[in-house]
Structure 1
């Protein structure tokens, strides 16, 4: 089986290629606009915005895994979310059709549900609050429309929550780095629950989709359980690193005022700041999602949540 991974040079893609490489009967191709630091021999430079190039690169593939996305929360202009995430989906599907490929695994996001929802499962209505979530939902709608006229295709949609792990430099890393430094300021009471996914588990689940879910249109949230509160993250970080981590609490409204101040500073200086009102809002929001469907599908996560957290903390901050 030849598997083409579009957007596989990043954090999740690199881990997925490593996981799939454990199976000698799989042939792998990475298509990305950036060279892969770890798998250059498997990489072809390409872009989801270049449909002709994509069509050429996908020749001979049996399955496509679409990871490519604009996902940061400070992308400018915001039209890039829709160019890459939505038009990129259309280009991918048309390139697949030109090559007779009928199987795709798409990584969407729980961002399609919005913030502060009541533990949504896959049947929950979409209500995205930002351009990333809106563009991911539009990409899913493109897939749904496509399937109405391509019923013989196998389409698997995976909606992960925030992914963490060794080598990650996203929001979870930044949060854990602040906690580990001992100079952490908690905005709000810290009781908001945060669903997360360990990278070792999400790539195992993507491999499970490739190997075991080979028919129909399937949608899965992916969340590792249990859900930690921000207070839990502080506790486990201190426990794993053997540190007493003091926490300064500041009220939510002051945190938001600070976020708006950084928004204004970013606007004036035309520079991206590490703090923004959007990031404060996301930090304080309840982001808890139901993963019953994925966990009852026959898949078993290879790592417990605390073990994944331990692996990341030891690798990044345990020196």
Structure 2
């Protein structure tokens, strides 16, 4: 069946050296699908080669896509610190245009795009895929614009498929973002719970979202005719921030303190760190925005559409948090996170060409 991923396919994975990309191999192996890697830098792939290139470089993409039948685009400017609006636009939106041009060159008609629930912005109720996106930051706006590029590409010729996945916060081994920071702060006894912790936090464990990509891509589109093939991905049920914190304490084998400080004083106490971050440009682990995000922000999303396809995640959120803490204790505690920010302009190829 056209554009259903099978063992006859060869997939080019853009952004393969990132966190999610580093977890793809078992999913593709389970489907019997060959894949090749493309990124700005080498990743933790146990010696498997990576084609070094920039997602905005059409010539590099054309070269890398030779012999491929499908494309998975994980490449993105996504950090919430140190990236300009122009770079978000050039990488996420300009990159989408470059990918479409390269696919057209080779006649590739099968794409999966890894987007984000950030496209919804701040909604009054947990949004489903039918909610009107209203992004509030550069990342969400550029991801939404990239989705539009891919939809236009899909509709411009018959027989094309653009599968779009919008995951919530993804965590797991080899991730050094917010969940890692929480584990690290609790482990170092530098964490105090603020507020009542009743706010819900939609999350997903990395192998679950990767398996969901394989499940959806290996089946025909399961949306109504004329409907965009877009899926939120969230591991349900949501946990509250208090439940997340309690799960981390339990996985660390530590007793959770009973003391919780009111939210307002915690936010005021973080103001000096906000000033330091603004003055130095450093991405500090403690800021009022981070405290608000964990202790007060309600970030819940619906994922009924993917559940209706019959997909069942293999790891629960508490099990995922426990697995990440085990990785942290074994490896991550001593690891030095490497932040790879995209260049402002198209990166030069390793052979000296652009």
Residue 58 (1) aligns with residue 65 (2): yes
Query: Which of the pair is proportionally richer in strand?
Result: 1
**1:306-317 alignment to 2 at 5 Å?**
306-317=318-329
For 1:71 and 1:187, the matched residues in 2 are separated by 27
Residue 227 (1) aligns with residue 247 (2): no
> Among 128, 138, 157, which residue is 2:135 paired with?
128
Relative to structure 1, the CA distance from residue 296 to residue 59 in structure 2 (aligned partners, 3 Å threshold; closer, same or farther) is same
Note if contact 2:181-2:285 (Cα within 8 Å) is conserved in structure 1.
no
Q: Partner residue of 1:191? A: 198
Q: Please report how far the alpha carbon of residue 247 of structure 1 lies from its aligned counterpart in structure 2 after TM superposition.
A: 5.5
Note if contact 1:117-1:288 (Cα within 8 Å) is conserved in structure 2.
no
Q: Partner residue of 1:69? A: 76
User: Which runs of 5 or more structure 2 residues have no equivalent in the other structure?
Assistant: 1-8, 332-354
**1:88-107 alignment to 2 at 5 Å?**
88-107=95-114
Q: Partner residue of 1:304? A: 316
Note if contact 1:224-1:305 (Cα within 8 Å) is conserved in structure 2.
yes
> Normalising by structure 2, what TM-score?
0.83
SS of the aligned residue for 2:136 comes to coil
Q: Which moved more, 1:213-222 or 1:200-209?
A: 213-222
Q: Kindly report structure 1 stretches of 4+ aligned residues shifted beyond 6 Å.
A: none
Q: Partner residue of 1:209? A: 216
**1:170-319 alignment to 2 at 5 Å?**
170-213=177-220, 217-246=228-257, 248-283=259-294, 284-317=296-329
For 1:141 and 1:260, the matched residues in 2 are separated by 38
For 1:77 and 1:66, the matched residues in 2 are separated by 21
Relative to structure 1, the CA distance from residue 129 to residue 186 in structure 2 (aligned partners, 3 Å threshold; closer, same or farther) is farther
> Among 158, 172, 183, which residue is 2:165 paired with?
158
Q: Please report how far the alpha carbon of residue 259 of structure 1 lies from its aligned counterpart in structure 2 after TM superposition.
A: 4.9
Q: How many residues are treated as equivalent by the alignment? A: 318
Query: Which of the pair is proportionally richer in helix?
Result: 1
Note if contact 2:221-2:229 (Cα within 8 Å) is conserved in structure 1.
no
Relative to structure 1, the CA distance from residue 143 to residue 56 in structure 2 (aligned partners, 3 Å threshold; closer, same or farther) is same
Q: Partner residue of 2:29? A: 21
1:288-310 deviations in Å (ceiling 9; x for gaps) = 11011111112121222222222
SS of the aligned residue for 1:298 comes to coil
> Normalising by structure 1, what TM-score?
0.92
Indicate the RMSD between aligned Cα atoms, in angstroms.
Answer: 2.2
For 1:21 and 1:42, the matched residues in 2 are separated by 16
Note if contact 2:168-2:202 (Cα within 8 Å) is conserved in structure 1.
yes
Q: Please report how far the alpha carbon of residue 201 of structure 1 lies from its aligned counterpart in structure 2 after TM superposition.
A: 0.5
**1:111-150 alignment to 2 at 5 Å?**
111-115=118-122, 117-150=124-157
